[in-house]
Structure 1
C-alpha cells in the first residue's frame, strides 16, 4: 500500500519548516506569497491533500464552505450552486454540497446538524425550506451562516435575496399596459416566502391600476412544471378565463404554456403569459418567455463575501442584501383584447 503523503513530506520538498508549510497551506498566520507558491507547488506535485477533519480537531479552519440545498434537480438551485462554487474558489476554499431532499427540521435537519457540525468554516443555505424551530436553532448558533432567497419571515441571520415584490409588480404592470384586465396568477409553495412576495407584487400592480383582484383567477402550483399544467387547465376552464397569466416561476409558466396549447389556443395572440427566474428554457421556449431575472452571480458573490467577513470575525455589512430584478421582455406577452395596435411593438421587444 502506498504511504500517504504528509505535511512533513511537503515541507521537505518545499525546503521550509513544517510550521511554515502549515501556515502556507492553512492560510493561518504569516507566510510570504513566494513561500505559499513553493509549498502549494510541492503539495500538488506530491499529491498532498490536507485533512480537514484533523484541522477541525485542532481548532483550525477547514477551508470548506458548506452549501445546503433542498433539491439539486432545480435549475435555479443549480445556478446558485455553480455561482457559489466559482466564488468560493477565489478564496482558495472548497465547497461541500448537502442535498436535504426535503424540509429542514423534519429529522433530516437534525442529522444534517450532527453531520456537518465543525466540518465547515461557514454555511450557505440556498432557497431553504426550514421549520421555524430549525431557523431558531441556526439563529442561536455561533457558526457563520448566510441564507440566499429566504423571505418567509424576518430573521437575525444575514439574507441575500432578489426583489420579488417589485419584479412581480413590473411584470403584471407590463401586462396591464398591454391592455389585459383579467390576469391570472399561479402560486408556488410557501416554503421560502418567494411566492407570497410575488403575489404581493401581482396584487399591488392590479390595485395601482384600479383593477379588483378576482380570487378565482389565482391557482395553486408547487413551483414544478406539472403543477403549472394543472393550474393552467383550471384557469382556462373558468367561465370567464384570463387573457393573461403570471406564474410565480418559469417552470410553472412553461406548464401553463402546455395547457394553453392543449386548449388549441395561441401564445400570445389568444392569451399572454409571463414567468419569473429566467431559467435557460425560458429563452428557447416557443415563443420565448417574458420573465424576471435575478442577478445570480452578483448574489452568490455577495453571499460568499458576507460569509467570509463573519468567518474572519469582521463586522457584517448588513442583515439583508437585496438585488433588484431585471425585466426580460420576449414574445409570450402580447396585446390584450381591444388594445391599440401601438402596444404590439413593445410586446415584441426582445431581451
Structure 2
C-alpha cells in the first residue's frame, strides 16, 4: 500500500488563531513594525505561537545566517504577478527566509518582454542589488537576454530553467505530484481512476499526466485512453470533462483533477447526477488553491511549493555559486489530505437535513 503524505502549510491565520488575535496583529508583530503599538504580552504571545507552529523560516522567531546578503537588497523579476497566487507565494517564501538578515526584496513585473527586463535590471543595479531571482509564472524553459549573463551578481531561476543550465534553477516536481495523487487513490482500492488534464502544451500538464501513468503502471493497472479527458484549467472544462467521464459505460470511481478549479467543476457535475463525494466518487485536485477549503466536502489536493522554492532561491543567492552547469532542483508537491476521497465501497453516514437522524448507507 502506498503511504499517504499529509502536509498542512502554516499561515498567519493559524498563528492568529493560536495567539487569540487578528491576522493584522500577527502581520504587525512578525514584520517588526514599531510605529504601531502592540503590548509586550501580545507581542510575546504571537511570537511564541508562531514559533510553536513553525511559521516562517527567517522571521524574528528564528534568526537566519545569510551573511552574504545581510543588509542588502535582492531583485525579483517575474513575468506576471496578478493572474495567480504563485508569484506572491514565491516572494513571501523569499521574504520569510531573509527578513531576519535585513534583506530588502525589490519586485518588478515585466510581462516576459526583454525591453522591460533590461529596464528592470538597470534599476536594480542602480539600487545596489546583490542578487536576482528570475521567475516565470508557468513552469517552462526560458531563453534569457544576453544581459543576464553579464550581471555582476548571482542569478537564480525560479519555476523555470534554461537549456544551457548556467544558472541554479528550481521547479516543482510535477511528475512526482501526479504519481502521488494517483497512488493515493489506488491505495484506497480504486482501479477505475480518471484524470482531467490541463492544456497539454504546458509542462505542468505533461508532467502530471506522466506521474498519473507512472502510478498506474506501478500498480499493474492498464492505462485507458477513455479515462483521460482534456480540460483547460477552468471550472467549466472540469464540469464538461466530468460529464463525459460519468457517461461512460464503466465510469470511474475516482478522478484526479489536475488543478483545483477543474475539481470545482467536477464537484458540480457530480452533484447534478446525484453523486455523493467522496462515497460515490473520490476526487483529488492540485495547487491547494484557496477554493479547495471552501468546497464541500473540502478538497484533497497537492500544494505547489512556491514558498519553499522562494526560500531555496534566497539560499542559493547567499551562496553566490559560480556560473557553470547546474542541475535543476525539484521540490516535492506535498499532499494536503482533506475529505474528498474515501476507500472504494466504504459505507457512509449522512445527516438528514431536518430530523438530524444519522442513517447508515451501503
TM class by shorter-chain length?
0.5 to 0.7
Question: Cα gap change, 1:131/1:298 in structure 2, threshold over 3 Å: closer, same or farther?
Answer: closer
- Please list the CA deviations of residues 4-54 of structure 1 after superposition, one character each: whole Å capped at 9, or x if unmatched: xxxxxxxxxxxxxxxxxxxxxxxxxxxxxxxxxxxxxxxxxxxxxxxxxxx
For residues 85 and 335 of structure 1, the distance between their equivalents in structure 2, rounded to whole angstroms, comes to 40
What's 1:119 paired with? 123
Question: How far did 1:183 drift?
Answer: 1.3
List aligned pairs for 1:234-245, cutoff 5 A.
234-245=244-255
* SS in structure 2 at match of 1:169: helix
1:98: how far off? 3.5
Unaligned ranges ≥5, structure 1 = 1-60, 343-351
Report if the CA contact (8 A) 2:167-2:325 is conserved: no
What's the CA shift for 1:71? 4.7
Counterpart mapping for 1:281-292 below 5 A = 281-292=291-302
| Residues 232 and 256, structure 1, Cα contact 8 Å, conserved in 2 | yes
RMSD: 3.4
Deviation at 1:95?
2.9
Q: Cα–Cα, structure 1 residues 207 and 282, in superposed 2: closer, same or farther, change >3 Å?
A: same
Question: Residue 256 of structure 1 aligns to a residue in which SS?
Answer: helix
Check 1:74–1:140 CA distance in 2 against 1; reply closer, same or farther (3 A cut).
Answer: closer
Residue by residue, what CA displacement relative to the aligned partner does 1:133-165 show, whole Å, maximum 9, x if unpaired?
A: x52536962333322233797844322233222
CA distance in 2, matches of 1:63, 1:155: 25
Note the C-alpha offset of 1:62.
8.0
Bigger radius of gyration, 1 or 2?
Answer: 1
Alignment of 1:130-279 (within 5 A): 134-137=142-145, 141-143=149-151, 144-150=154-160, 155-189=165-199, 193-279=203-289
1:163–1:323 contact (8 Å) kept in structure 2: yes
Indicate the residue corresponding to 2:333 in structure 1. 325
How far 1:261 moved relative to its partner? 2.0
Q: Which has the larger share of helix?
A: 1
How high is the TM-score relative to the length of structure 1? 0.65
Instruction: Indicate if the aligned counterparts of 1:161 and 1:321 stay in contact, CA closer than 8 A.
Output: yes
Within 1, Cα distance between the matches of 2:139 and 2:185? 34
CA separation in 2, counterparts of 1:153 and 1:186?
30
Q: CA deviation at 1:301?
A: 1.1
Aligned length: 271
Gaps of 5+ in 2: 1-70, 349-362
Moved more, 267-276 or 150-159: 150-159
TM-score, scaled to structure 2: 0.64
Q: Is the 8 A contact 1:67 1:81 kept in 2?
A: no
Task: State the structure with bigger RCO (CA 8 A, min sep 6), 1 or 2.
Answer: 2
Indicate conservation of the 8 Å contact 2:90/2:306, yes or no: yes
- Per-residue displacement from partner, 1:223-247 (whole Å, max 9, x unpaired)? 3434323333333333433221112
Cα distance in 1 between the residues matched to 2:208 and 2:259: 9
Query: Could you tell me how far apart the structure 1 residues matched to 2:190 and 2:239 are?
Result: 22
